[in-house]
Each structure stands twice: as structure tokens, then as C-alpha cells.
């Protein structure tokens, strides 16, 4: 997935989490593997917390960190 598409998905995922919903790979027309990678990277970069990696993917309830909240506030 190219960088601009990845940023677009990341922004949408953060907005979904901010609205109190749980994002899904189907919602973004991504494979489960692509979606898990984006969520993992977003957590590693410090924008979300609350997910744990397992052999089957990610489990938990994602929440925005203060940095994730600032990111949302700065994006139109």
C-alpha cells in the first residue's frame, strides 16, 4: 500500500476510534493482514494504545493517546 493511501487509512481509523467505534478491516476494504499492520504501526508510533498482538492478530480495545488526539485535532 502506498504512503498516501496508508496515511488516509490511518487518519480514518483514528477518527473511527475517536468516535467511540471499533474499526474493522472490512470498513476500509483491506485484508485482515494489511489492517493489522496499520493498527500495529499506529500503536508503535504512539497514536493509539490498548491492543495486544497474538498469533491470530490483534486483540483489545484501541484508544487514542494524547498524541493521537492531537493528530485528529490537527487534521481536517
pLDDT surpasses 70 at 76? no
Question: With bands split at pLDDT 50, 70 and 90, how would you rate the model's confidence at 4?
Answer: confident
For the record, the C-alpha cell of 74 comes out as: 490537527
Q: Determine contact, residues 58/36, Cβ cutoff 8 Å.
A: yes
pLDDT in tens, 15-66: 999 999 999 999 999 999 999 999 999 999 999 999 998 888 889 999 999 9
Query: C-alpha distances in angstroms, 74 versus 5, 34, 48, 59?
Result: 18, 25, 16, 28
Q: Which domains does the chain have, with CATH numbers?
A: 3-74 (1.10.10.10)
CA pair distance 2, 19, nearest whole angstrom: 26
Q: pTM here?
A: 0.88
Amino acid at each position: 500500500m502506498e504512503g498516501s493511501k496508508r496515511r488516509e487509512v490511518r487518519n480514518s481509523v483514528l477518527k473511527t476510534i475517536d468516535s467511540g467505534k471499533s474499526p474493522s478491516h472490512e470498513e476500509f476494504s483491506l485484508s485482515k493482514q494489511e489492517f493489522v499492520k496499520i493498527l500495529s504501526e499506529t500503536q508503535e508510533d504512539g497514536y493509539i494504545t490498548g491492543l495486544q498482538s497474538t498469533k491470530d492478530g490483534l486483540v483489545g480495545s484501541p484508544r487514542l493517546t494524547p498524541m493521537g488526539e492531537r493528530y485528529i485535532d490537527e487534521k481536517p
